[in-house]
Amino acid sequence: MSDVLHLARPEIRALEAYQHAPWEPSLERLHANENPWRIDGDTTRAGLNRYPEPYAFEVERALASLYGVAPEQVLAGRGSDEAIDLLTRGFCAAGHDAVLQCPPTFGMYKVAARIQGAEVIERPLLRARGWAIDPAAILAAMTPRVKLVYVCTPNNPTGNDTDAATLLPLAKQLSGRALLVVDEAYVEFAARPSLANHLAEHDNLVVLRTLSKAYALAGARCGALLAAPSIVELLRKMIQPYALPTPTQEAVLAALQPANLTEARARIARIIEERDRLALALAPLVTRVWPSAANFVLVESAEPARLVAKGRAAGFLLRDFEKTIPGALRITVGSPEQNARLIVGLERA
């Protein structure tokens, strides 16, 4: 296997990470200039007066077991958004390198690239083929400057899923040239296993996962980058020490307890059922309902603004995608009660 780190910025490869205060929870801490007393109302186990574990290894072990990978293949961060930022800064030299993405897709890849001064090359999804990616066009667009190729699957906002039979050959063809970053923020709602099972075979494959959607922790901000240990080690040098706050670490560890995981899986199944029900109910109200493998539905309407207004009158925010896909709206699957109320609101004349 090639040494995938030759794709990274040389100065990041050479970087020495910040030396944080040692983490030895069995001893009392007089080495980090913390306050000895907790504030009133501090309900955390560890105490907010103390710094959290500098790199969230306990959380990463729990995420490794959730995702079925080794702890060395996991970097936990503040949402998968942080992973996107670290990848961009670690692999793209400002003013020189590029990322490739397939619009319409998640907006953060482009924003992170622009902030870093990396070029954004686009090879659109094929609408006529249900928003499929175009691997031939992606490969034809490759130059030595393209360091990251993003595929979001299931894709936000179109909802369609790309299978492993398409992605693994692409990873192979990009091997030695670029990382294939597969954003699986919604994979729990899709009918296929994660690509994380294939990390060992592809050292340039990076899988992004998040607890924000399926695990109901959007407010905690925790996501995971799953990749070859060498990539995880490289990006760990760049992440801020103490990136995951104590309340986040404790909330994640609690959410990943077996009883909570059983409940989370039952709720994922309910959202999938509700998604299919919502899609059926929306069909007569719009011109198109795109099939979804996620927890949202993309619809198209001749009067999208009217639908948004009706949703608002019923008390709901819907996401208008008019700018990227004419007539399109993205609707998140809510509780059965919310979905029913939304449909009544949209049916109103």
Question: In the set 152, 272, 278, 342, which binds ligand PLP (CB under 6 A)?
Answer: 152
Residue with tokens 């998968």: 80
Residue 245 CB, shortest distance to ligand PLP, in Å, is 15
225 closest CA partner among 209, 202, 204? 209
Q: How many CB atoms lie within 10 A of CB 184?
A: 23
End-to-end CA distance of the chain: 62
200 or 218: CB nearest ligand PLP: 218
- Applying CB under 6 A, does 116 fall inside the site for ligand PLP? no
- Applying CB under 6 A, does 183 fall inside the site for ligand PLP? yes
For residue 184, give both structure tokens. Answer: 């699986």
Q: How many residues bind ligand PLP, per CB under 6 A?
A: 12
112 or 346: CB nearest ligand PLP: 112
- Applying CB under 6 A, does 159 fall inside the site for ligand PLP? no
- Applying CB under 6 A, does 332 fall inside the site for ligand PLP? no
299 or 346: CB nearest ligand PLP: 299
Quick check: helix, strand or coil at residue 124? coil
Quick check: helix, strand or coil at residue 9? coil
Kindly identify the residues of this chain, within the stretch 193-232, that bind ligand PLP according to CB under 6 A: 210, 212, 218, 223
- Applying CB under 6 A, does 88 fall inside the site for ligand PLP? no
Residue 81 CB, shortest distance to ligand PLP, in Å, is 4
Question: Contact region for ligand PLP (CB under 6 A) — 73-81, 141-149, 253-261, 271-279?
Answer: 73-81
- Applying CB under 6 A, does 79 fall inside the site for ligand PLP? yes
For residue 144, give both structure tokens. Answer: 């030595």
CB-CB contact of 74 with 239 (8 Å): no
333 closest CA partner among 288, 285, 280? 280
CB-CB contact of 199 with 72 (8 Å): no
186 closest CA partner among 220, 219, 221, 162? 162
CA separation, residue 297 to residues 121, 275, 313 (Å): 27, 7, 20
Q: How many CB atoms lie within 10 A of CB 243?
A: 20
Residue 75 CB, shortest distance to ligand PLP, in Å, is 13
21 or 253: CB nearest ligand PLP: 253
Question: In the set 51, 91, 106, 290, which binds ligand PLP (CB under 6 A)?
Answer: 106
Residue 80 CB, shortest distance to ligand PLP, in Å, is 4
Site residues for ligand PLP per CB under 6 A: 79-81, 106, 152, 156, 183, 185, 210, 212, 218, 223
